A and B are shown apart, each in its own frame.
Chain A
Amino acid sequence: MCTTNNNKKTKKKYTHPPLEDSRKLEDFTCLEYSERLIDYEGNIGYSNEGFPVDVVEIDFGNGERMFLPANNYEVNIKLQKYGDQITLTIRAVNLSTGECKVVTQSHICHDALQSYPSQFLSTKGQRKNQFPMNSQSQFNSAHAYYKPATSYRSTLQFSSYDEPKISSSGSQLDAIDYTNNTTSATGTVVGAAQFAVGTVKNQSLWNASHKAHKLLKSNGINVQTKVLKHGLKPMLANASRKITYIGAALSVGDVLIDGRLNASHVLNMTMVGVSAIPVVGWIAGGVYFTADMVTLGISGQSIGGHLDDYVGEPLVNDIYDW
């Protein structure tokens, strides 16, 4: 299990030569351990083992850097993209003592970062090794790439790729978002149709069904008017509930595969639960899904997406990490 060390926040003096650009490492450590920038659980830099002995420098590509002790450490780097935030979790395990330290750093995706892949990490100066995002990227090789303590230049760096796509589901491909939005859109159309059918008078519904019957008949399909009229309501009711069910299955799949629980998942599941309550729940669910679609149309993001942005971080970041 990991042990953390939060109580030491005093700066440590060290006497290594300055960096090539004449900044001292202290400058970087100030940046690194500024509470404003980093929400850290462990305290790698001020460990009892001493810092820095040998250092791995992480270059974020936007002028920000951070350092990790590399000697005798196994460094695991994990990238997670969540909304417009990229969270980098770096875990360093001291191979001799087994002590584990964790640093988490969140970045808002500004222009500089958006031009970075956030899907791949690669090592600079060596053969490019690509690591898929959202999975534990083993950086055991970090030992090999650090340079001696006399020169703290970049050894790990984000490599440049074309613009990544930010998706609320936290993955590069937007298939889930598209499916979600399509589900939401279809649900709203069906819900509206259901509402319209529910409000029109019997005679009007009969007339509409009769017209549909004529149209179908002219195309060689013979369906009786009364079948159309009586079949319309159950069909629409079924369709709207099936769409709710698809939304729920998507949320379940999302949590299961990514191991991350967002506020939007909880909201979705709650709304599915509410929709299961007869009459009152159907109305509430219908209103929600319509509002969701309107929000999506106006702001380009669903209610769940807005909620995720507001909450900031996932409720449970990685359920498989314990």
Chain B
Amino acid sequence: MFDYIYYRLYLLYLKKEKGISPISTSAMYLSFIQLLVIYSIVMIVNITMHGDLFKDLTDLNKNFLKIGIVIFALILDLFNYFYYKKRCKALIMRFKNHPLNKKFKVWMLYVVCTGLFLFPFLYRAILKML
């Protein structure tokens, strides 16, 4: 799934950036989507547990954890960059005639990202109503 998303992002930025750095940019936005997926999963687990995951952390530890998340995000970005730099050409060949190419539009990713960010809040609202 992420391979295909990367492929579509790569094509978009290749066209719009006029070849400046499409691999890096698309890897970065892919990392952002992956980060949102992780965020969404952790939030849902933590909401279910009434916030037990971070309950006992002090303010200092919370701040360290936030900075840790940023470092993790950068490492994820680097990993994606090197991972997809190697496989970029292979992915183009693989997805060139993929049936989703006509159905799936890149703007749909914005909807997916917004959904991933807001879904935990919806989940909480549903739990609250029950």
Q: Contact: A133 with B113, CB < 8 Å?
A: no
Within the complex, the shortest CB–CB distance from A80 to chain B, in Å, comes to 12
A132 neighbours in B (Cβ, 8 Å): 58-59
Q: Is B85 an interface residue (CB 8 A)?
A: no
CA distance A172 to B72 in the complex (A): 23
Q: Contact: B54 with A257, CB < 8 Å?
A: yes
Q: Contact: B43 with A256, CB < 8 Å?
A: yes
User: By the criterion of a CB under 8 Å from any partner CB, how many residues of chain B are at the interface?
Assistant: 49
Q: Contact: A246 with B25, CB < 8 Å?
A: no
Q: Contact: A238 with B25, CB < 8 Å?
A: yes
Residue of A nearest to B114 (CB): A273
Q: Contact: A179 with B70, CB < 8 Å?
A: yes
Among A10-18, A218-226, A247-255, A301-309, the stretch that binds chain B is: A247-255
A133 neighbours in B (Cβ, 8 Å): 59
Known A238-B24, A241-B25; contact A256-B59, beta-carbon cutoff 8 A: no
A302-322: which have CB < 8 Å to B? 316, 318-322
Known A132-B59, A252-B35, A252-B39; contact A320-B65, beta-carbon cutoff 8 A: no
Q: Contact: A171 with B63, CB < 8 Å?
A: yes
Q: What's the count of A-B pairs with C-beta under 8 Å?
A: 125
CA distance A322 to B46 in the complex (A): 12
Q: Contact: A234 with B31, CB < 8 Å?
A: no
Within the complex, the shortest CB–CB distance from B40 to chain A, in Å, comes to 10
B21-77: which have CB < 8 Å to A? 21, 24-25, 28-29, 31-32, 35-36, 39, 42-43, 46-47, 50-51, 54-60, 62-67, 69-70, 72-74, 77
B residues touching A (Cβ–Cβ < 8 Å)? 12-13, 16-17, 20-21, 24-25, 28-29, 31-32, 35-36, 39, 42-43, 46-47, 50-51, 54-60, 62-67, 69-70, 72-74, 77, 110, 113-114, 117, 120-121, 124, 127-128
Between A and B, 12 residue pairs with Cβ closer than 8 Å are A175-B63, A179-B70, A234-B24, A249-B70, A252-B36, A255-B39, A256-B69, A257-B57, A259-B54, A276-B32, A279-B16, A319-B51
Contacts beyond the supplied A245-B28, A252-B36, A253-B66: 12 A-B pairs with Cβ under 8 Å: A135-B57, A234-B20, A234-B21, A237-B21, A238-B24, A246-B70, A248-B35, A253-B67, A257-B66, A273-B114, A278-B16, A322-B50
